[in-house]
Structure 1
Amino acid sequence: MALFQSNNPVLNEKALQKAGSSSSEGVMTINGTIGKMGFLLLMVMAAAVYAWGVPARQQNPVPFLIGGSLTGFILAIVMVFKKEWSPYLAPAYALAEGLFLGVISVLYSNLYEGIVLQAVVLTFGTFAAMLVLYKTRVIRATERFRSIIITATMGIAFFYLIAFVLGMFNIHIPFLHEGSAVGIIFSLVVVAIAALNLILDFDLVETGAAQGAPKYFEWYASFGMLVTLVWLYLEILRLLSKLNRR
């Protein structure tokens, strides 16, 4: 579900424009956004740790898997249209995604020992690397760059949608899940696109703070970055699983 986010469509220029200017509640700041992002990550990790123990407690993991992903998807859609509700819905979204990720992670861990820790380290390492590249202006969120990343992301989302529909008819795209050279290259490209979406996220957070967006936009911006991170983590897990099959 995380793949449906980027330009990030959750966190884009239109979202900032619709948020308007500051209100009596205060204005958006970078430090405020960082704090809220940290809080959401803690909630994701807490829920993921709880869901990780579901199989050990001999509970059925399917409700956590389906319930977490479906709840997260619904909350994300609501926040896209009701951004001012983000202070209340973003934490709920983080908990739902944590339950989903916890179950997904334990399933991967049962197949490939150590894969989850590798994926977590690579995800946060990529986040840090993208932040450094953005702050040092090695990569700039120019209009050309933005257009390329948006187009690539929409193409990936459309491809996944087609794969999902075909899968309902028991038609599978081999390289999407297999560890062939083509499959690994495809996953590398998707991971790269997901990582570059973070540059757009950082730019919009900085722009929102500079323009004095409403305080609630800190929650919405944090939610948008979390969507990107979840997508990135899932794609890295997929890539590592393909490498482990070789």
Structure 2
Amino acid sequence: MALFQSNNPVLKQSIFDKVAHTEGETMTIRGTVNKMSFLLVMLMAAAVFSYGEFLRGSSNVMPLVIGGAIGGFVLALVIIFKKEWSPYLAPAYAIAQGLFLGAISAMFNGQYQGIVLQAVGLTFGTFIAMLVLYRTGVIRATERFKSIIITATMGIGIFYLIAIVLRLFHVDIPFIHSSGTFGIIFSLVVVSIAALNLILDFDMIEQGAAQGAPKYFEWYGSFGLLVTLVWLYLEILRLLSKLNRR
């Protein structure tokens, strides 16, 4: 069971340790891929809707941003603690995140034309590249690799949390948003860590299928992978905006 480790907070070894294997249908890679595809379609449909609302100048834009962000966060917490509900809540999470991402993307694209298409292309390009590197064994999810990525991800999370708290007191950490050299380097590091999360998540899904995790873990694994992709997209969008400001 040591293989069931991931720096993604929704795909932890302890989650699998607590789940008894079932004698019925079990998790498969193909099933997970199908469900991931469905969640992506739901997310993109919701994103297109909120993107259009922004372009029309609708007063619903900010409610979509705030509601999507808060709703997605709440749904994610519920799914993490009630993973057996993931077949029902994962699609709702995808819709909530789509509403949030669509409006945010429209705001960025309003400042820098074409940035959204670039971010989407780079996100899916990175996803495919990481999948190829994983499947060919160029990058392996060894225990040392996992520990490094886990530590780095936790560090980024704590750093962002500190930045949010400081911002409440009108104090900004410059290079988080800066388009200077340190700001660019910071974003490149975060994008790299987010991309490497995908390697660990691919490994978790593969091992879950190999060891007979319950069928609903296809939804749970897809949800966890979607969390990583959303993070990766947002960080790439932030990086591109910095480059456009230079």
SS at match of 2:53: coil
Count of matched residue pairs: 240
Contact 2:191/2:235, CA 8 A, preserved across alignment: yes
Query: TM-score, normalising length from structure 2?
Result: 0.96
CA distance in 2, matches of 1:183, 1:56: 30
What is the letter of the counterpart of residue 86 of structure 1?
S
What is the letter of the counterpart of residue 156 of structure 2?
I
Partner of 1:79: 79
Moved over 6 A (4+): none
What is the letter of the counterpart of residue 138 of structure 1?
V
Deviation sequence 1:34-72 (CA, Å, 0-9, x none):
000000000000000000011233322110001001000
Contact 2:43/2:95, CA 8 A, preserved across alignment: yes
What is the letter of the counterpart of residue 58 of structure 1?
G
Deviation sequence 1:71-128 (CA, Å, 0-9, x none):
0000100111110000000000000000000001000000101000000000000000
CA distance in 2, matches of 1:23, 1:177: 51
Q: Which has the higher contact order (CA 8 A, sep 6+)?
A: 1
Contact 1:19/1:83, CA 8 A, preserved across alignment: no
CA distance in 2, matches of 1:17, 1:198: 21
CA distance in 2, matches of 1:110, 1:56: 9
What is the letter of the counterpart of residue 219 of structure 2?
W
Query: TM-score, normalising length from structure 1?
Result: 0.96
SS at match of 1:92: helix
Question: Sequence identity, in percent?
Answer: 69
What is the letter of the counterpart of residue 29 of structure 2?
I
Does 1:142 find its partner at 2:145? Answer: no
Does 1:53 find its partner at 2:52? Answer: yes
Partner of 1:11: 11
CA distance in 1, matches of 2:23, 2:150: 30
Contact 2:22/2:212, CA 8 A, preserved across alignment: yes
Partner of 1:153: 153
Contact 2:55/2:106, CA 8 A, preserved across alignment: no
CA distance in 2, matches of 1:222, 1:201: 9
Unaligned segments of structure 2, at least 5 residues: 1-5
The 5 Å alignment of 1:95-114 reads 95-114=95-114
Partner of 1:167: 167
Partner of 2:217: 217
Contact 2:66/2:100, CA 8 A, preserved across alignment: yes
What is the letter of the counterpart of residue 147 of structure 2?
S
Partner of 2:30: 31
Q: How far does residue 224 in structure 1 lie from its aligned partner after superposition?
A: 0.1
Contact 1:51/1:103, CA 8 A, preserved across alignment: yes
What is the letter of the counterpart of residue 42 of structure 1?
V
CA distance in 2, matches of 1:126, 1:40: 18
Partner of 1:67: 67
Which deviates further from its counterpart, 14-23 or 166-175? 14-23
